[in-house]
Amino acid sequence: MKKVLIVGGVAAGASAAARLRRLDEKLEIIMFEKGDYISFANCGLPYYIGDVIEERDSLLVATPKLMKDRFNIDVRVNSEVVKLDTALKKVTVESKEKGIYEEAYDFLVLAPGAKPLVPNIPGIHSEKIYTLRNIRDTDQIKSAAAQAKSAIVIGGGYIGVEMAENLRERNIDVTLVEAAPHILVPFDEDLVVIAEKEMKDKGVKLVLNNGVKAFKETETGIEVELQNNDIYKADLVVSAMGVIPDTSFLHDTGIALGVRGHILVNEKMETNIEGIYAGGDAVEVVDLISGMQRTIPLAGPANKHGRIIADNIGGIQTTYKHTQGTTVIKVFDLTLAATGNNERILVREETPYEAIIIHPNHHASYYPGAKQITLKLIFNKTGKILGAQAVGYEGVEKRIDVIATTIRLGGTVYDLTELELSYAPPFGSAKDPVNFAGYVAENVLTGKSDVVHPRELEKMRENDQVVILDVRTIGEREKGKVEGSVHMNVNELRNNIDKLDKSKEYWIHCAVGQRAYVAERILKQAGFKCKNITGGYKTIQAMGINMQTNQ
């Protein structure tokens, strides 16, 4: 009888175990989990703390009893694998119940996951500083939050933002501190500023571009000193400064690890040592867009890793076809979703790209309740979709899912224009936002439109060869305008075109971009040099760029 040992549960490990049993009734399968629980809903933990999820047991996806009764899997909790001998094919286990012992294997599955990053900051080991990674952490934070009136969250990633929201939902005064200029790294500045405003509007104090220098425990709570020497006080601190792979026990085993300690695997999720597989947050994956090695810790891919590992152990030749990083997050009433690469990644990797921003309604504008989506599409000169991001109150994630599917199937921006998507006034528009994004991108690629990003406005202050042309109505302009811009309503443009100077280049904007495109086409066909400021005044205003507001 072949024996498979699985180190770690949750997504990859538990998925591999269940799939293995479905494939082979004769395998001996033993799962080791150093914590109390083998499979739980990591992504639901903040919402249990915020009382959105009321029942603690609903977080438990699978229990040792279920795995034994349904799958005949020997699950050993509170059992940490501390050593691995690849030559003798055995592991050393430190068990709360059995003490220290060894277990041999024929196949080994490594799914140790990741653990919270704990930087070397003075005072960081205070008992009033919490991290969130498992059920035990959740219980501790929820208990502390029940007594707290104020909290500081360190880190603006997904866990940090979700914790800030859920602590705020408990009527706790919350300050979120982020060392980077903006929260939520998967999103570019032009979209994430909308989420930042939502958090501020809901009462979360944001401190950006300012890291932590030191923590100091006091009799009544804890002080956080920042790099600029500002001091914030609270009853508790939640540290969400990122994670690192929990792979220290693999050092000196011969298993290849990446620079940051992630396990390196091939397309079959097998390590460099035959018979040893790895999946989940502890592995490096290939980025579907760039083809480069990257760490993208997400639950969906982790479950796929487990299934593919089981297939290959079971003799089914299955390969993992890379990760594209499709993700979604709730920020109070807002939804943010993304897939593929963002501008930051593309700039860092020196990848040429184009980007457009549109603001369509999530369903037909004439049907009650229509709400705007801000949708960003990033693509290259061939039409390949490199990434997409969206933010709004309704219909956000389904648009990103459609684009993510198009990317996965090798589609281009031209294919977005051809997609036949479901339509009825309460659900969408005859020209869906996804189609609309494709049309705008197609116009850029075919030379019908030249776009410029609102951030470029700051560079134009001293350039007297560029004129910012506002083609909105006078009423819109009276509520706020770009400093130094000139105005001409798009409906009056043809009759007043002789008032414009052909020696100048015109950067055109309306509210969201549609009327500016009409103006751009009129001017270009009349021999003018012009560009469309993508996203229009809505994006300019959200980013707080070069504005003169009259409200």
Which residues are within 8 A (CB) of 350 and not within 5 positions of it... i.e. 6 or more apart? none
The conformation of residue 253, written as its DSSP 8-state character, comes to S
Please give the distance of CA 96 from its chain centroid, rounded to a whole number.
36
* CA distances to 441, 473, 509 from 430, in Å: 18, 26, 25
Which residues are within 8 A (CB) of 123 and not within 5 positions of it... i.e. 6 or more apart? 129, 214, 215, 216, 217
Beta strand 90-95 with 79-85: parallel, antiparallel or unpaired?
antiparallel
Strand segments (E) across 322-433: 327-331, 334-340, 354-358, 373-379, 385-392
The conformation of residue 204, written as its DSSP 8-state character, comes to P
Cα separation, 536 vs 508, in Å, equals: 8
The conformation of residue 240, written as its DSSP 8-state character, comes to -
Q: Which residues pair with 361 in a beta bridge?
A: 372
Active-site residue, from 24, 28, 41, 43:
43
Residue 383 is encoded by which pair of tokens?
Answer: 């039409």
Beta strand 243-245 with 466-470: parallel, antiparallel or unpaired?
unpaired
In this structure, the chain runs to a length of: 551
For the question of residue 530 being annotated catalytic, the response is no
Residue 107 is encoded by which pair of tokens?
Answer: 């196949």
Q: Which of 227, 222, 260 is closest to 239 using CA atoms?
A: 222
The catalytic residues are 43
